[in-house]
């Protein structure tokens, strides 16, 4: 598999300091795997080399679902969603907790000002943090310097659950679960561009490695919608063996990985042929996928098993299992600079 040469530089972060000397901080690797555990309301910090949990931070709020690391890899941001699932009744969070990964302590709590069920958080090239505000039908924008919400972009549809941002930071796409739609956002002018109808119910979202396609999973039929980012229209469908959920492309752009929770499998889609090439058995109820930036490895959070499956993308098999806690869900990389 020909992985981009640019990713090789990231591998150096695993073993070397920025001045070229070898790391003497085995207790704080330069790359960390972050795992949000809904079951015990915690964030696991994992050394991805041996696959060992280095620490666990109990969140103050009512259950976070997702996590993102700051661009310098030193902080983790966990939106506090609430104690229910999307579209269900229950409490609604309104904060984002900021965790110092070195001290493993919550250093700040960002209050969004109203109960919006903040869910998916992504940093864009502009350095700002974008967080889906599900009950507000919006994406909130947080300035990490002031640690405050500075703006909001309307999604024009309810339940904006997950978010994907193009590499140039000009466009973003939200999956709006209950309405089965995808909203296209202009991040430069901070306004919605259009809303694309997909299915009765849709879940999760990702962009292809070249930002050419957006994919989201139909929750009533075993298929993925493929959206053309040039026309902002559904251009086709990819059939799956079971209902899909989370998706993520490999960095080389050849494969798309798809979790299938009810089948306890990950489907591997050949993006050239737009069809499933194989499936990989993993733990119970796989939900999210994170690609390792320096090696052909995928991390799959298995919510039902309380673990993360480590999948070797050369052998297409689970090479290791990392136990975290019940309800393992959101995943992120923290790459220290």
Assigned domain for 47 exists: yes
CA distance 154 to 131: 12
**pLDDT digits 0-9 by tens, 280-322:** 999 999 999 999 988 999 999 999 999 999 999 999 999 999 9
CA distance 284 to 306: 8
pLDDT averaged over the chain? Answer: 92
**pLDDT digits 0-9 by tens, 320-329:** 999 999 999 9
CA distance 325 to 63: 13
What average pLDDT does this structure show over 33-54?
Answer: 96
Work out the percent of the chain whose per-residue pLDDT is above 70.
92
What average pLDDT does this structure show over 11-37?
Answer: 57
CA distance 271 to 267: 12
**pLDDT digits 0-9 by tens, 128-148:** 999 999 999 999 999 999 999
Assigned domain for 63 exists: yes
Assigned domain for 282 exists: no
Q: Is residue 164 packed enough to be buried (19+ CB in 10 Å), middle (13-18) or exposed (0-12)?
A: buried
In sequence order, what are the residues at sequence separation of 6 or more whose Cβ sits closer than 8 angstroms to the Cβ of residue 109? 60, 61, 95, 96, 97, 98
Assigned domain for 248 exists: no
Is residue 179 scored above 60 in pLDDT? yes
Assigned domain for 312 exists: no
Assigned domain for 121 exists: yes
Number of domains present in the structure of the chain:
1
Long-range CB pairs of 16-22 (<8 Å, 24+ gap) are 18/337
Assigned domain for 13 exists: yes
Is residue 245 scored above 50 in pLDDT? yes
**Cβ-contact 269, 250 below 8 angstroms:** no
pTM attached to this predicted model: 0.91
Confidence class of residue 28 from pLDDT cuts 50, 70 and 90? low
Assigned domain for 114 exists: yes
Is residue 19 scored above 80 in pLDDT? no
**Can you give the CATH number for the domain in which 326 is found?**
2.130.10.10
Which residue range is the domain that position 189 belongs to? 6-239+289-304+319-335
């Amino acid at each position: 598999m020909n992985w981009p040469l640019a990713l090789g530089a990231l591998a150096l972060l695993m073993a070397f300091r920025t001045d070229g000397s070898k790391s003497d901080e085995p207790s704080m690797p330069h790359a960390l795997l972050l795992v949000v555990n809904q079951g015990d309301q915690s964030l696991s910090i994992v050394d991805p080399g041996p696959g060992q949990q280095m620490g666990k931070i109990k969140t103050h709020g009512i259950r976070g679902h997702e996590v993102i690391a700051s661009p310098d890899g030193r902080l983790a941001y966990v939106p506090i969603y609430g104690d229910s699932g999307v579209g269900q009744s229950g409490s609604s969070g309104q904060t984002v907790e900021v965790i110092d990964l070195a001290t493993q302590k919550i250093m700040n709590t960002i209050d969004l000002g109203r109960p919006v069920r903040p869910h998916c958080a992504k940093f864009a090239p502009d350095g700002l943090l974008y967080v889906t505000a599900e009950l507000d039908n919006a994406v909130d924008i947080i300035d990490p310097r002031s640690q405050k919400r500075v703006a909001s972009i309307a999604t024009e549809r309810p339940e904006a659950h997950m978010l994907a941002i193009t590499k140039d930071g000009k466009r973003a796409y939200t999956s709006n679960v209950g309405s089965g739609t995808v909203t296209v956002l202009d991040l430069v002018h901070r306004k919605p561009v259009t809303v694309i109808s997909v299915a009765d119910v849709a879940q999760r979202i990702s962009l292809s490695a070249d930002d050419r396609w957006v994919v989201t999973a139909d929750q009533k039929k075993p298929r993925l919608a493929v959206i053309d980012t040039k026309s902002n229209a559904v251009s086709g469908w990819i059939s799956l063996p079971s209902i899909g959920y989370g998706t993520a492309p490999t960095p080389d752009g050849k494969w798309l990985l798809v979790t299938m929770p009810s089948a306890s499998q990950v489907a591997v889609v050949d993006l050239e042929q737009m069809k499933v090439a194989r499936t990989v058995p993993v733990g119970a109820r796989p939900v999210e996928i994170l690609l390792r930036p320096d090696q052909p490895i995928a991390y799959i959070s298995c919510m039902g098993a309380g673990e993360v499956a480590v999948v070797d993308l050369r052998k297409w098999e689970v090479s290791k299992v990392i136990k975290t806690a019940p309800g393992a869900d959101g995943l992120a990389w923290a790459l220290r600079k």
